[in-house]
Amino acid sequence: MFDGLKDKLSGFREDVEENAEVEEPAERDEAAADESAAPEDSGGEQPAASETAPAGSPAEDAAADDEDGDNEPSTFQRAKAFATGRIIIEEEDLEQPLWDLEMALLESDVEMSVAERILDTVREKMLGESRKQVETTGELVESALHDALLDVIAVGQFDFEERIAEADKPVTIVFTGVNGVGKTTSIAKLSEWLADRGYSSVMANGDTYRAGANEQIQEHADRLDRELISHDQGGDPAAVIYDGVEYAEANDIDVVLGDTAGRLHTSDDLMAQLEKIDRVVDPDMTLFVDEAVAGQDAVNRAKEFNDAAEIDGAILTKADADSSGGAAISVAYVTGKPILFLGTGQGYDDLTLFEPEELVESLLGED
């Protein structure tokens, strides 16, 4: 999963290591010794430049620059780092690798603003940073990438199971998105995920206009031995999901899973249906479903749906077939709402709770 993006991140790490190579220890020690040796006629140890330099002198200014904590490493910082066996990452070390990383992220369908945020964070965490000789530049790069990726991936994240556990029952969850992205199958998978954790659920088919929609979700309900609430084709979607809530209340069911018609955010009639469902049912969560493999299209649709109907989170299907990872990286940052689940296969058990930290570790080869 996301193997292409993993390779690109690994390439960035290697590029920075090449651009910020450390001098050979013998050369460094010899140079440091020459720099620190007292002049022949001094007769002894020399005081530090900061102790002897008059006010306003270049030496004092260099030391002051260091104390100011400016991002740009001063001459004094570089000399001190060199003498203590450290290396400072400078702008020139990052310029080309960061450009290559930006291109790699965009090629992986990472949204532009997300790519820029990642680059800014990496630059901020690495520029002027020093490391001991016993550490590796690769570790420094990996730490910066880890923080930068987690910063965008974990936006809005919440504990889904905890929210289900603490909410008044029944919890009503409505699913929305475009046609053909696995919305109905995701409902069935989530029903099984909930059952594995001791929660009962009922399905309600608010996709009332599409031919064969009732039969499709009924097949899932029969396989999983779940109750399905449905009306005749052409019925009111809000009324169907409302009936699902009433059934759950009467039968002590924990969760109502409401399907809706596939739509575009520009479909005025269908968006009006969502607004009516919100008004009549007042769902606890509205989840947007799209395919991870849709990349930038999925990111754009997530933003458009959130703008139009305000989603609470997202499910990305076909994540197991996605090499680029652009949607998984971008959706939360663009919408401000978290990815909650990844669909990772055809079986009902192939629904994985989205864990930002685990994803970042996987992308960086830390697992």
Annotated binding residues for GTP, written as ranges, equal 177-184, 259-263, 317-320
Q: Cα–Cα–Cα angle for 147, 149, 154, nearest 5°?
A: 95
43 Ramachandran zone, left/alpha/beta (phi>0; psi -120 to 50): left
Residue 159 structure tokens: 């504990």
CB of 154 closer than 8 Å to CB of 330: no
Residue 298 structure tokens: 């999925």
Residue 287: which residues within 8 A CB-CB, separation 6 or more?
A: 173, 174, 175, 176, 311, 312, 313, 314, 315, 340
CB of 15 closer than 8 Å to CB of 122: no
CB of 247 closer than 8 Å to CB of 202: yes
Least Cα distance to 315 among 345, 334, 338 occurs for 338
Measured in whole angstroms, the distance separating CA 336 from the mean position of its chain's CA atoms is: 11
CA distances from 76 to 33, 62, 226 (A): 17, 5, 71
**Positions at the binding site:** 177-184, 259-263, 317-320
Taking the C-alpha atoms of residue 244 and residue 202, their distance in angstroms, rounded to an integer, is: 7
Host H or E run for residue 305: helix 296-309
On the 0-12 / 13-18 / 19+ scale of CB atoms within 10 A, 126 is buried
344 Ramachandran zone, left/alpha/beta (phi>0; psi -120 to 50): alpha
DSSP 101-146: HHHHHHHTT--HHHHHHHHHHHHHHHTT-EEETTS-HHHHHHHHHH
